[in-house]
């Protein structure tokens, strides 16, 4: 699209001209939903039809005005975004605080060849300056420009090349969702209820079966749609994750932004040697945490450890000496106290727990933000305490639970000292730079 003279003079850029359609349809969909709820009320259907029809020009006008008053430009070391119809808003995103730039393509946007650019900055509670929508080539080009400027490179630096490390097979993803305790129990209960309903010819039992059947859909289908065709690639600007069936997401995990890692081994996955890898990533807040915290939705343990070495070079958790909890911990955790363990080496702190659902948390010492010690009433009586390590917000919340009180204090003091020494010697973080000694990639079909 040719820029207007005012745009050329100011350097501002506009979003794609089809943006009003994508923004306006949401208002139209809301009007349709409200009308559907009122079909069985006192309002005549003709008036509902008129209301829905009237929402079409209103939605288009809203979308157009929102697009007309939205423009952006890169101003030195900042991304400047101007928005607002009635109330003007000007935002500046410092590129040196840029943590992630994701390309998201919702289903309707994909059909029109459009994409949304979501920026995450340090200290942000949600995505800053989301640019919705741009053409897919424009979104990729702008993303490359922003990453280059964040790395201190020329703005015309091309996008860094990548090498695919692994792809999660669809059949494994489907099997992993079916092999969960919650899904299996719900499915068995549903079969029992349906059996009684047909055997006793009691139709009222179907009302009990319907909610259970509806709950299975999101539990099984939701993760499959979200993590469909999950691909991990390596590049100089970090790990690139691509996944999604209806809404696709292209995410970059820059070097040094992973603050903590969790390896989950559910009970029914362990016979197949599968696990799930979750991470805390600096900069993501709000919705970004739940949408971007999965590094591998399901993978063999060897692939998970290979990925761990990519985000935490020179870390080998098998060499970390782990220590269990005293026997008195059985009074506060009778089922799984034997599976509680924690330890540390010169690079990371590791905590393990769980009998049915095993969890292993790994935190580099330099990523520690705070540490604290807590004691419940029963713990105080038994001489126990729990150590909590805090990193950036995310699913990984490392704890060393039910340690002896004196041991917990020593563990806390030692970890604080390790974190201080690690931060003083940690190299600066830069985009577009690989770890100094990267291990060879693991490629899986």
- Domain boundaries of the chain, sorted by first residue: 1-68, 170-226, 256-425
Per-residue pLDDT of the chain (445 residues; tens, 9 = 90+): 444 444 444 578 899 999 888 887 777 777 677 766 666 556 566 766 776 677 778 778 888 888 888 889 988 788 998 888 778 888 888 887 777 788 999 988 999 999 999 887 765 555 556 788 999 999 999 998 888 888 777 878 888 889 999 999 999 999 999 999 888 888 888 888 888 888 877 777 777 777 877 778 788 888 999 999 999 999 888 889 999 999 999 998 877 788 999 999 999 999 999 999 999 988 775 555 556 789 999 999 999 999 999 999 889 999 999 999 999 999 999 999 999 999 999 999 999 999 999 999 999 999 999 999 999 999 999 999 999 999 988 899 999 999 999 999 999 999 999 999 998 877 665 555 544 444 444 444 3
Dihedral of alpha carbons 147, 125, 259, 358, sign: negative
Best CA proximity match to 357, nearest among 435, 267, 442, 277: 267
Contact indicator for 203, 193 with CB cutoff of 8 Å: no
- The residues, any chain, with a CB within 8 Å of residue 222's CB and separated by 6 or more, are none
Angular region, 89: left φ>0, alpha ψ -120 to 50, beta rest: beta
Structure tokens at 116: 């949304």
Sheet holding 248-253, edge to edge: 128-135, 114-121, 98-105, 248-253, 238-243, 231-235, 163-167
Contact indicator for 320, 350 with CB cutoff of 8 Å: yes
| Bridging pattern class, strands 89-94 and 114-121 | unpaired
Distance in angstroms (rounded) separating the CA atoms of residues 66 and 132: 11
**C-alpha distances out from residue 2 to 68, 80, 113, 158, Å:** 15, 21, 18, 23
Structure tokens at 31: 């009007």
For the stretch 136-154, pLDDT in tens is 999 999 998 888 888 777 8
């Amino acid at each position: 699209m040719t820029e207007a003279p005012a745009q050329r003079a100011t350097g501002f850029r506009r979003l794609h001209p089809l943006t009003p359609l994508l923004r306006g349809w949401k208002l139209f969909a809301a009007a349709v939903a409200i009308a559907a709820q009122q079909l069985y009320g006192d309002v005549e259907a003709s008036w509902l039809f008129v209301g829905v029809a009237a929402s079409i020009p209103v939605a288009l006008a809203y979308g157009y005005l929102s697009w007309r008053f939205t423009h952006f430009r890169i101003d030195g070391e900042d991304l400047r975004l101007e928005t607002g119809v009635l109330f003007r808003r000007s935002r500046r995103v410092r590129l040196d605080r840029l943590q992630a730039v994701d390309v998201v393509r919702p289903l309707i946007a994909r059909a029109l060849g459009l994409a949304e650019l979501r920026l995450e900055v340090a200290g942000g509670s949600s995505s800053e300056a989301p640019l919705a929508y741009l053409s897919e080539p424009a979104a990729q080009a702008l993303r490359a420009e922003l990453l280059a400027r964040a790395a201190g490179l020329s703005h015309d630096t091309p996008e860094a090349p990548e090498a695919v490390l692994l792809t999660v097979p669809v059949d494994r993803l489907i099997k992993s969702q079916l092999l969960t305790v919650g899904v299996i129990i719900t499915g068995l209960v549903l079969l029992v209820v349906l059996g009684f309903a047909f055997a006793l010819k009691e139709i009222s039992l179907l009302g009990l079966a319907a909610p259970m059947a509806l709950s299975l859909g999101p539990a099984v289908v939701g993760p499959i749609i979200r993590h469909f065709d999950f691909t991990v690639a390596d590049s100089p600007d970090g790990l690139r994750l691509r996944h999604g069936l209806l809404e696709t997401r292209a995410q970059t995990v820059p070097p040094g932004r992973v603050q903590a890692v969790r390896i989950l081994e559910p009970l029914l996955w362990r016979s197949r040697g599968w696990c799930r890898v979750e991470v805390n990533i600096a900069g993501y807040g709000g919705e970004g945490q739940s949408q971007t915290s999965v590094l591998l939705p399901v993978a063999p343990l060897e692939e998970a450890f290979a990925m761990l070495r990519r985000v935490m070079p020179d870390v080998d958790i098998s060499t970390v000496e782990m220590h269990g909890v005293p026997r008195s911990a059985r009074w506060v955790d009778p089922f799984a106290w034997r599976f509680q363990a924690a330890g540390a080496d010169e690079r990371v702190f590791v905590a393990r727990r769980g009998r049915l659902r095993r969890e292993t948390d790994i935190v580099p010492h330099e990523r520690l933000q705070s540490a604290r010690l807590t004691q419940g009433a029963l713990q105080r009586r038994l001489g126990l305490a729990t150590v909590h390590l805090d990193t950036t917000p995310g699913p990984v919340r490392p704890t060393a639970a039910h340690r002896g009180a004196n041991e917990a204090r020593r563990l806390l003091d030692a970890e604080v000292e390790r974190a201080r020494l690690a931060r003083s010697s940690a190299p600066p973080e830069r985009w577009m730079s690989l770890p100094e000694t990267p291990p060879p990639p693991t490629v899986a079909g």
